[in-house]
Structure 1
């Protein structure tokens, strides 16, 4: 009986791991070493990221602001990702991966296109926080959960939001989702280094702008991409608050191309057209 129980348990573990692998999710034992959890070191002799879309080279990643909190990320390995997906993915083919958060309906959909192979929800089920560890071609995707306060569609929810981190081409790209509070030391450690960060700057539905700027000063990303703003006044007020220590650039196009070799020496806020 003891042998049979052990066999059943072993088969259950095997099946769970096999299912996770089939869905692109990695069990603990197979997680790659995160390049973003290493100690960040300065990169001398780099230049500002190009603000003009160009043909992708090895190591390049293109990021397109689709609108609100949705960015379209395209890797040199051919992976397409849409963040805080509510049905919009921008121009081009169907994404391989979409990520979603649940504060309100402009950040998720309960009816994603069945053609999307990987739908990563930023909230968990059954009281458990969401946990994503996924390797797809040249990108490794993971999440760090944060809480959602009351007053939104789902009310207060522990671990109701996910900061998704995309590790690709040596870059650490983070999307803060619908962040409602300052990061704890534990969350900050789990995030690690961010080279590019997508940040909500509305100043009310998420966090006060002063508090959000404090989060960004702590994260010390090389490139900050504002999102989740309502009108030019909200955006410009955030930009003014960021000018102490950050260079501000305005792009004529919603797409930028970034690479590890071209990260700016001075941290930059890059405003992409859209809303």
Structure 2
């Protein structure tokens, strides 16, 4: 084959080779319980956006925004560059005196989002109110964000959440479950791939306990505090045991507008 023809043939193969890159989803943490999940199709799902100054008031975009409960450090969709569809796991009456679970189960462009009713405390909501765990199904994976869970799960709650690949769990205690309790919740749900601790104290925002009590409960811990991203190949085989990943948090720049 003449060299120019061979070169053209090689160039023609490059886009096809690029298209064969393994599909992946990316989970980004912005402090407290604020995450952005980017699917392989570039759909953006945001959990519990906040405006806590210590974390730099991150501004990111969302196609779907999920709020676990109506507390200020979890329910600030206005900080997002683009909000997309906003779903509340717990709604508040017009007079602000009553709350109730929204019981969401919807699909948005192929991504399923649903709630499981839980509480923010061990007193069936009498102390800190109701909370919703979010279960998101995307790219064949199941992500569970427990919001401000304040208790171990009942068998019915664990069954309602179902199989989980990636679990985001609060570990800082005081207002939520602590590290020891969080380990028990992990054992209840048995996530297949990753456990990502959230809602714990960090330098500059240390009202909560740090993550060490929780991390000490596990043998396999990956500390990646130099990044706020966890990239998860969609088709990778699930390991024998999940990895606990300690992410760093990042002060995001103002979110660019989508083209």
TM-score normalised by length of structure 1: 0.69
Equivalent-residue separation in structure 2 for 1:197 and 1:212 (angstroms)? 11
* C-alpha contact 2:111 2:138 (8 A) present in aligned 1: yes
Instruction: Give the C-alpha shift of residue 71 in structure 1.
Output: 0.7
Equivalent-residue separation in structure 2 for 1:249 and 1:114 (angstroms)? 31
Query: Which protein is richer in helix relative to its size?
Result: 1
Equivalent-residue separation in structure 2 for 1:119 and 1:257 (angstroms)? 25
* C-alpha contact 2:70 2:91 (8 A) present in aligned 1: no
Equivalent-residue separation in structure 2 for 1:204 and 1:56 (angstroms)? 47
The one-character-per-residue Cα deviations of 1:81-106 (angstroms, maximum 9, x if unpaired) are: 110122588565x2111111336311
SS class of match (1:106): coil
Structure 1, gaps ≥5 residues long: 1-54
* C-alpha contact 1:66 1:254 (8 A) present in aligned 2: yes
Residue number in structure 2 paired with 1:13? none
Instruction: Give the C-alpha shift of residue 183 in structure 1.
Output: 0.8
Residue number in structure 2 paired with 1:253? 227
Residue number in structure 2 paired with 1:80? 44
SS class of match (2:248): coil
Indicate the larger mover: 197-206 or 228-237: 228-237
Q: 1:272 aligns with which of 228, 247, 251?
A: 247
1:240 aligns with 2:216: yes
SS class of match (1:190): helix
Instruction: Give the C-alpha shift of residue 236 in structure 1.
Output: 1.8
CA 1:230–1:113 in 2, change beyond 3 Å: closer, same or farther? closer
1:143 aligns with 2:134: no
Question: More relative contact order in 1 or in 2 (CA 8 Å, sep 6+)?
Answer: 1
Residue number in structure 2 paired with 1:211? 181
* C-alpha contact 1:171 1:259 (8 A) present in aligned 2: no
Residue number in structure 1 paired with 2:14? none
Residue number in structure 1 paired with 2:101? 129
Structure 2, gaps ≥5 residues long: 1-18, 94-98, 204-208, 251-259
The one-character-per-residue Cα deviations of 1:124-175 (angstroms, maximum 9, x if unpaired) are: 3456421111212231111101023399xx9543xx2111111011101100
Greater gyration radius: 2
Residue number in structure 2 paired with 1:194? 164
Residue number in structure 1 paired with 2:72? 105
TM-score normalised by length of structure 2: 0.72
State how 1:11-90 maps to structure 2 within 5 Å: 59-86=23-50, 90=58
Equivalent-residue separation in structure 2 for 1:134 and 1:89 (angstroms)? 29
The one-character-per-residue Cα deviations of 1:173-215 (angstroms, maximum 9, x if unpaired) are: 1001000111111111110000100011102210132121111
Equivalent-residue separation in structure 2 for 1:225 and 1:56 (angstroms)? 29
Q: CA RMSD in A?
A: 2.9
